[in-house]
Amino acid sequence: MLESENREKELKAAIKTENIPHHVAVIMDGNGRWAAEKGLPRYEGHRQGVEAVRLTVRNSSYLGIKVLTLFAFSTENWKRPVSEVNYLMSLPGKYLQSELPELIRNNVRVRLIGDSKKLPRRVQKAVNEGAEATKENTGMILNFALNYGSRSEIIMAVNRLVDDVKKGRNIGSVDEIIFSSYLYTADMPDPDLLIRTSGEKRISNFLLWQLAYSELWFTDVYWPDFSRLHLLEAIYEYQKRKRRYGSV
């Protein structure tokens, strides 16, 4: 404990406040394995994962991160057993119900990215209410990626673009800026830093377009154990990277 407290102090002193990543995206992975290692059912891992979300949101906003995007449910996660899907679908509502007062106090703005129409009504309602209640907030944007899949987002963008052209919008030749404006992340900067927990080193259909030049940081820690220390480690490592964007 003492060792990690010392490390935290060290990191806080070393991190440069002027180079905090603007947008941090997180693939919150490893809830099931966290639970299995403790002999618990998978849903206990998801339940504990919500605690890690609470802490990470609080810490990110405190550190001055401007956009935090959390991958909470993918378009592929419907393949899981119905009971697990149902449990996962109960979490956004529970989280927002208990955290909304604090989110409002901390000036956090809640938003949803993903195909919300396919989410259960109660989930849509909870997230829309959270978004509505925080829409005037000017602090950190908290994006929940729910029923999010990057390929489906790109196809959705293409279809909406084609529709607009059919309706007579004069788009001319499509460039990266126009195309980006059709994505869920239209008015947001690309992630500077992607964090994935649980030791897996893949993107799993998350923000394929937006991650083009993001710095990637992987940790073996399971999501329910992800703490301020790990967030600080990720930012510290990020600040050591030299972002070249193809230049020298």
The Cβ of residue 116 has, within 10 Å, a number of other Cβ atoms equal to 16
Residue number, nearest CB to ligand IPE: 32
Interacting residues of 11 by C-beta distance below 8 A, sequence separation 6+: 229, 232, 233, 235, 236
The footprint of ligand IPE on this chain (CB under 6 A) covers a number of residues equal to 19
Show which residues are catalytic. 29, 77
- Does position 231 interact with ligand IPE (CB under 6 A)? The reply is no
- Does position 152 interact with ligand IPE (CB under 6 A)? The reply is no
> Pick from 25, 53, 71, 226: which binds ligand IPE (CB under 6 A)?
71
- In the bound complex, what is the minimum distance in angstroms from residue 31's beta carbon to Mg ion? 7
Residue ranges of E strands in 85-240: 109-113, 141-148, 193-196, 215-218
- Does position 192 interact with ligand IPE (CB under 6 A)? The reply is no
Question: Which of ligand IPE, Mg ion, none has residue 71 at its interface (CB below 5 to 8 Å by kind)?
Answer: ligand IPE
Answer for the pair 110, 142: CB distance below 8 angstroms, yes or no.
Answer: yes
- Measured from the CB atom, the residue of 50 and 157 that comes closer to ligand IPE is 50
Taking CA atoms, 43 is separated from 36, 88, 97, 98, in Å, by 10, 8, 19, 19
- Does position 32 interact with ligand IPE (CB under 6 A)? The reply is yes
Number of residues assigned to the chain: 248
- Does position 198 interact with ligand IPE (CB under 6 A)? The reply is yes
DSSP H or E run through 23: strand 23-27
- In the bound complex, what is the minimum distance in angstroms from residue 204's beta carbon to ligand IPE? 4
Distance, in Å, from the CA atom of 215 to the CA atom of 194, rounded to the nearest integer, reads 6
- Residues binding ligand IPE (CB under 6 A): 27-33, 71-74, 76-77, 88, 198, 200, 202, 204, 223
